[in-house]
Amino acid sequence: MNDKCAAGTGRFFEAMARAFEMDLSEFSKLSLKAKNIIPITAQCTVFAESEVISLVGEGKPMDEIAAGIELSVAKRCFVMSKKAGATDSITLTGGCAKNDGLKDAIQKVLNIKVIELSVDPQLMGALGAAEFARQKGMARG
């Protein structure tokens, strides 16, 4: 996720997978096959989707376009991870944590290890909300 918009969230990757006419699971592995990267310059989800559709229409290699998408998100994560003080490892949560291409791109861009969670990463937001509610309840009682 980033500090400006939804580009880099699960919704962004859903839109990109839709532009490739494949499911998220297929899309998340596609960039791992790329020998080159075609940069995606648009920061906005809507503009990036348009850019991707144009590149696909031009017959550019889909794995290289996917690598550009993953790289663009990883670059946006770079600034936030540094602000958060990440130095040697991070953990991803939510659906994006299941995106193998994103994990690979983040490890390369940030030069940092992405640690896998032992639980489903999509549960982390709910677990955090439950813990927050528990602590609020204890503070009142």
Name the more confident of 121 and 46.
121
State the angle between helix axes of 10-19 and 62-83 in degrees (0 to 180), rounded to the nearest 10.
170
Tokens found for residue 117:
């969670």
Q: How many domains, in total, are found in the chain?
A: 1
pLDDT tens digits, residue range 32-78? 999 999 999 887 778 888 999 999 999 999 999 999 999 988 988 88
| 27, part of any domain | yes
- What is the model's pTM? 0.83
Residues 6+ apart with CB under 8 A from 92: 102, 103, 106, 114, 121
DSSP for 47-113, please give it: HHHHHHHHHHHTT--HHHHHHHHHHHHHHHHHHHHHHTT--SEEE--SGGGG-HHHHHHHHHHHT-E
Write down the mean pLDDT value for the chain.
88
| 120, part of any domain | yes
CATH number, position 60: 3.30.420.40
Tokens found for residue 120:
């489903």
Tokens found for residue 17:
């997978």
Least confident segment among 8-12, 55-59, 88-92, 118-122:
8-12
102: pLDDT strictly greater than 90: yes
| 5, part of any domain | no
Q: What is the pLDDT of residue 58?
A: 95
| 118, part of any domain | yes
24: pLDDT strictly greater than 50: yes
State mean pLDDT over 107-120: 91
Q: What is the pLDDT of residue 26?
A: 95
Q: What is the pLDDT of residue 2?
A: 47
Name residue 139's amino acid: A
Domain limits for position 75: 10-140
State mean pLDDT over 18-40: 94
